[in-house]
Structure 1
Amino acid sequence: MTEPDAPRAVAAPTLTDGEWHRLHPLTPLFRGGLFLVVVAGIVIANLRDRLVFLFLPWFDDDIDRDIREFESGGDPVDFIIANNLYLVAGLALLGILAVLIGLFYLSWRFHTFRITGDDVEVRSGVLFRTHRRAPLDRVQGVNLTRPMLARLVGMAKLEVVGAGLDANVKLEYLSTGNAEAVRADILRLASGSRQARAERVDPGIVSRRAAAASVVSAGITGLIEGAEEPVSEPESVVHIPVGRLIASRLLSSSTLWLVAITVAIVVGSIAGTPWVLFTLIPALLGFGAYWVRTITRSLRYSIAPTPSGVRITFGLFTTITEILPPGRVHAIEVQQSLLWRPFGWWAITVNRLSGRGLSDGTTDQFTTVLPVGTRSDVERVLRLLLLDLPEAEWPLVFEHGLLGPREADPYTNTPRRARLLRLLSWRRNGFQLSPDVLLMRRGAIWRTLAVFPLARLQSIGLEQGPLDRALRVASVRAHTIAGRVSGRLGIIDRDAALELFGTAEAAVIHAAARDHTHRWAQGEASDPEGGAGMDPRTDPLEVPR
């Protein structure tokens, strides 16, 4: 009587039971499908004229002449027809197809993964085996990507973000429902929550053969149904209108570069080289493709708090969902260009461990947590990323940091004697150290505010050149993991920089000692809603300020 319930026993919860499991049966097709597309493209390109001649014989007489010239050189299709080798050719095609299916099956058969209480492991390869392992205590997050074609059959891929260079472990592909559940389990295990989950069925009832059969059945069902299963997503705290997103990309530095290039091309053509005008078309096409790519990548944007961290989703064709657990963000930068200032728009980027190699071109898309937003949007996002910042310190971020300087400015700015080195921004160029964060304010034309949580600040350095020594100023550098957020602030009074150097040491030690945001689900057992794991201010070990 329990036979009909057996397939449900291998649903997502059992994928983190410490046993080896296989990926979605269609995984080899999507991973090796590019090779088949290339081969098919080459074949179609070589037979293009023949196909046109067969299906559109009246299209062009020149095609007939080209076909005859090609046939005189020895066409394999004509050889098959002339020698009546239809059966041999059909068997050869079936043999090639069988070999491809066999290779795909072996690839799927030998590609397994398991998730234990300590590691995420992936084994792959038939002749040359690879075994990758990501310790859960080093996991920085789990990204979920749904490419457009994979979404049509209800598939997604997971990327477990490690703490080192090229340390990520990928699970591609799983069904969308399984991927969501596995990601939640990995995050819960990585956070230190080792809650025992009740088994819905006896593990001995379901054999490995039944488990594999249910996985294959689920894959075939997803292929037939086609559409991606609905994914439950929390309500986003920020909604970006499409018009604002498009306008923000047009009012960017790339537009200024396009205008400058266009002016240079027009001036060059007027000066006596008209052929330079032809270079304007590739420039317009290149910038147009860049704008379309950046706009489509930022569509469907949402950001919301979850018990596992801040959930960020973006992408129109390829949808990417990542989780930024509290305590994994090492630096935050809020920036505003001169073209955005009349509209009050800002963007937010972060420094975080991505686990990707330096040659990976997809790293930058994981650093932007707010493509464009108003001040209220910025405040909502920052309050998600800076959970432990007290209410009394928020004016340092908004009133004095983003919009300053104002009266009674608490920031330590560039001294008047060195204002020629920061002619436009010397009143804005400064820092402020609080018990929780180090704030660096820069720029008058392109305004930026960098926020460095002290609990994750690695070190602080001072730099001074010959001109700096003559003016008694120095440069301060906050060291974090590499990223787009710069930790350098120049032309600061030397004595103020030395005081910061000494004060920050004690502040960093104190902040790191009472920080528990890296254990983001530690309070999950006591709070069924998961709220305690999201707010480190409720930690009983917090030292009163």
Structure 2
Amino acid sequence: MTSIPDPVEGPGASPAVPGAPPPQLVRSPLSDGEWHRLHPLTPLLRGGLFLIVVIGIVFANLRDRLVFIFLPWLAPDIEDEVGEWEGAGGDPIDFIIANNLYVLAGLAVLAALIVLVAVFYTSWRFHTFRITDDDVEVRSGILFRTQRRAPLDRVQGVNLTRPMIARLLGMAKLEVVGAGADANVKLEYLSTANAEAVRADILRLASGRRLSAAGPAGALAPPRAGRVATLSQTVGREITGLIEGPEAPVTELESVVHIPVGRLVASHILSMSTLGLLFAIVAIVIGVSQGVTWLLFGFVPAIIGFGAYWVRSIVRSLRYAIAPTPDGVRITFGLFTTITEIVPPGRVHAVEVTQPIMWRPAGWWTVRINRLTGRSAADGSTDQFTTALPVGTAADVERVLRLLQPGLPDDERALVVQEGMFGPGETDTFTNTPRRAWWIRPLSYRRNGFRLTPDALLMRRGIVWRKLVILPLARLQSIGLYQGPLDRASRVTNVRAHVVAGPVSPFLAAVDRDSALALFDGVARGSVRAAFTDRTHRWAQEETSAPEPADLVRGAESAPAGASESAASGTGEDRT
């Protein structure tokens, strides 16, 4: 086993530390390239709450016994029941009571607690992190050591999560989103001030910002007061924050979208799941009235679970805010557990604007995105990082698209709203399903179509659920054409774009074959152009003396189609 030196705990930054970030680019004393430990109260949140739950379960199960032992006058009739318990035998509690081993049992419990506390403390001592100019690195483990790194040039976002108990203690969990499955690096927990400063440092280093663009270094922690006084002030401030909002001032305070609570609740009521719930309730009432009582026991737990999920979804969407920052789009949501994520430029791989049929009279839409979350597919919390707008009007959608796709010109953005969301109208620039293939999409063939712009591919489909998919060409992985025997008879084909996994499905059926082939070649050339001109991996870095994108694009366009397709960086094309 390799010995690892004890981490440095001091707040100062030594400029001689190899790999340390430039002092002009960092604000937090934790971003100095040295190894640091997490907040001292981290074991309480990671392990202490578990002990509290276990103790609560034990006390709940031994409630009658504890009353008989310590407060027998409060339940004089319980003595006979305790006698039956002791006579039954085989229960460790009965053995302790019968042999008067209270002191020994208490010492055993105390020893177990001491061992657990020692394990938690040792785990905290060995859990360290550091931030260098290239990556964020975390080491953990006592017997089996784990070391993880998140390269800054592959950072997909930085999330700041504040569970309710952690908020009251002035703590937050920082999560650096990586570019792979289960690739995130978590710092849980830091003080709220340190977490916000470290998040800003990580984004600043990932942006490629030069030293001359950075301000003066140094916003260190304020002078320390007494720990008890500091904790009491923090709890009071965070209780106020539950009402007024938790976030510290940022570059853009005002959210571009405001969602009234009434609209949020109504959007959950006007959903297909609510109709299913009403149907189940009616079925239960009718069944019970006819004597089929098993419906009551079979469906009631499911209804209660759905109601809890319904309420949790509403609470999680409260305090929604979306605003621009110098380092990307800042999205905040959650009432009790507050989550703030910053999505840097170029990290959105697909955008979908959807309108269920029950929302159509109110004119509401929702916006979802595909992005790398760094989480495994089995993680149920992934969905909350893919909703950019829970419910909003068309004007709200236009504001959100302005943040998610800033490269779209204003005229193209207006076209997205007019033709992509509400279309087709009297004038339609989309290439739609030909009339001869109406039987493949009998209801939506007039709306089913695509449009290719210099920067994005638009896919429009659906009549019951209106959907518009926006695919930035710079993020497109590949595009495929698929044709079955019935499609071949109608001279149409299916188009599927390949992007990172997520809720957005970039698929379009019944596209005219010749139009699809032209789209195939257009996407190949557009992907080459977008790949050469894209600079979002280092969004604040100044231009260097690299080859001119226009020259490379002209060379790609003058090459044969097959050559340009194979030259697309990270872009492959298939024809089936």
Asked if these proteins are the same fold (TM beyond 0.5), I'd say yes
Post-superposition offset of 1:82:
8.0
CA contact (8 A) 1:424 1:444 kept: yes
Judging changes above 3 Å, is the alpha-carbon distance between structure 1 residues 104 and 522 closer, same or farther for their aligned structure 2 residues? same
Judging changes above 3 Å, is the alpha-carbon distance between structure 1 residues 409 and 219 closer, same or farther for their aligned structure 2 residues? farther
Post-superposition offset of 1:510:
0.9
TM-score (norm 2): 0.82
Post-superposition offset of 1:516:
1.9
**2-side partners of 1:64 and 1:224: how far apart?**
48
Map of 2:167 onto structure 1: 151
CA contact (8 A) 2:12 2:32 kept: no
**1-side partners of 2:495 and 2:319: how far apart?**
39
Map of 2:56 onto structure 1: 41
Judging changes above 3 Å, is the alpha-carbon distance between structure 1 residues 24 and 300 closer, same or farther for their aligned structure 2 residues? same
Runs of 4+ in structure 1 displaced over 4 angstroms?
A: 6-12, 54-62, 74-94, 196-201, 214-220, 263-272, 540-545
Amino acid at match of 1:394: R
- Given candidates 187, 205, 215, the residue that maps to 1:171 is 187
Judging changes above 3 Å, is the alpha-carbon distance between structure 1 residues 78 and 452 closer, same or farther for their aligned structure 2 residues? closer
**2-side partners of 1:289 and 1:82: how far apart?**
45
**2-side partners of 1:405 and 1:310: how far apart?**
31
CA contact (8 A) 1:413 1:428 kept: yes
**1-side partners of 2:107 and 2:294: how far apart?**
56
Amino acid at match of 1:180: E
- Given candidates 205, 208, 211, the residue that maps to 1:192 is 208
Judging changes above 3 Å, is the alpha-carbon distance between structure 1 residues 274 and 47 closer, same or farther for their aligned structure 2 residues? closer
Map of 2:32 onto structure 1: 17
- Quick check: 1:222 aligned with 2:231? yes
Amino acid at match of 1:155: M
Map of 2:66 onto structure 1: 51
Map of 1:533 onto structure 2: none
**2-side partners of 1:64 and 1:180: how far apart?**
57
**2-side partners of 1:49 and 1:112: how far apart?**
45
Post-superposition offset of 1:148:
0.6
Post-superposition offset of 1:506:
0.5
- Quick check: 1:276 aligned with 2:285? no
Q: Matches of residues 69-468 of structure 1 in structure 2 within 5 Å?
A: 69-72=84-87, 73=89, 91-195=107-211, 221-222=230-231, 225-227=234-236, 228=238, 231-233=248-250, 234-265=253-284, 273=292, 275-468=294-487
Judging changes above 3 Å, is the alpha-carbon distance between structure 1 residues 126 and 275 closer, same or farther for their aligned structure 2 residues? closer
TM-score (norm 1): 0.86
CA contact (8 A) 2:37 2:129 kept: yes
Which blocks of at least 5 consecutive residues in structure 2 are unaligned?
1-8, 14-25, 555-576
Map of 1:536 onto structure 2: none
**2-side partners of 1:265 and 1:96: how far apart?**
49
Post-superposition offset of 1:46:
3.6
CA contact (8 A) 1:162 1:355 kept: yes
Q: Which sits farther off after the overlay, 503-512 or 57-66?
A: 57-66
Number of positions where the alignment pairs a residue of Structure 1 with one of Structure 2:
515
Secondary structure of the residue that 1:481 maps to in structure 2? coil
CA contact (8 A) 2:457 2:473 kept: yes
Q: Matches of residues 460-539 of structure 1 in structure 2 within 5 Å?
A: 460-522=479-541
Judging changes above 3 Å, is the alpha-carbon distance between structure 1 residues 397 and 215 closer, same or farther for their aligned structure 2 residues? same
Judging changes above 3 Å, is the alpha-carbon distance between structure 1 residues 217 and 102 closer, same or farther for their aligned structure 2 residues? farther
Root mean square deviation of aligned Cα: 3.2
Secondary structure of the residue that 1:410 maps to in structure 2? coil
